[in-house]
Amino acid sequence: MGRRNEKKPFVHEKKVSMAKNPAPADLDTSLSWYLVYTTPRMEAKAAKGLADAGCAVFMPSWHKVVRYQRREMEFTLATFPRYLFAAGVPTLRRDRFLVADDGVTVVTINGRPLSDIREIEGVQDIVRTQDQWARVPGAFIKAVADYQNDPRASRCADPRKPEMVVKPGQTVRIIDGPFMRFLAVVVDQVGLHEADVMISLLGSASRMRVSTSQLDAA
């Protein structure tokens, strides 16, 4: 009898919402864009440093809001963890000194001359071919921008379709997002819903983290 009057403990429900941040309205796909590789979770810091050095920067990202116990927390998550795009990057010469387009100007950040792009906090390197930095085609930048500007959720997020269980070394096909139709090789499964994969991009293999809902058998 007494149990009927017992109060059930109140459970606070955590609510999470995510939306893609749109691409910059003034994004110029005609520029010479490069793919920048950053240190973990330092995409925003690298983007700021590159912008301070005079580069145009495009960091595709998501806006995440977590509501819990009357509190609200906001986060910016990179669409491509550890990667962003930059244009107007100073040329790296054989003597490893950076020069601007006029061939003379010393490139500085916060008044300090730069001798290597990796001196910018958060920047590890720029994806390259064998002998030079690899340029990202303008059509690819546009495809990424179109993806960011599309407010719809992932097209393959069908609850009737089970997420793929992947194994290291497995070749898969990406079926959604800006890398749609690319083939990739699985490095490792991360948790239940993500995987690290290697994508052949711009003549170089690049490691990306993607949702397993974006993957299918090759």
CB-based burial label for 183 (10 Å; 0-12, 13-18, 19+): middle
Shortest CA distance to 174 belongs to which of 151, 127, 206, 142?
206
Query: According to CATH, what is the number of the domain 159-218?
Result: 2.30.30.30
pLDDT of residue 142: 92
Reported as a pLDDT band with limits 50, 70 and 90, residue 156 is very low
Q: Is the dihedral of CA 171, 218, 61, 129 positive or negative?
A: positive
When the pLDDT of each residue in the chain is averaged and rounded to a whole number, the result is: 79
pLDDT, one tens digit per residue, over 42-86 is 999 999 988 888 889 999 999 989 988 888 899 998 988 888 999
Q: Could you say which DSSP state residue 44 is in? A: H
**Length reported for the chain:** 218
Q: Where in the chain is the domain with CATH 3.30.70.940?
A: 15-150
Residue 34: which H helix or E strand, with range? Answer: strand 33-38
Instruction: Outline which parts of the chain fall under CATH 2.30.30.30.
Output: 159-218
pLDDT for the residue numbered 8: 60
- State residue 110's pLDDT score: 56
**What's the CATH fold of domain 15-150?**
Alpha-Beta Plaits (3.30.70)
35-49, 79-93, 111-125: which has the highest mean pLDDT?
Answer: 35-49
The distance from CA 181 to its chain's CA centroid, rounded to whole angstroms, is 18
Percent residues over pLDDT 70 in the chain:
72
Check whether 159 has a pLDDT greater than 70.
Answer: no
pTM exceeds 0.85? no
DSSP code at position 151? -
Q: What is the pLDDT of residue 94?
A: 40
pLDDT value of residue 120: 86
Tens digit of each residue's pLDDT (9 = 90 or more) over 180-210:
778 899 999 988 888 889 887 766 677 878 8
The mean pLDDT of 108-121, rounded to a whole number, is 67
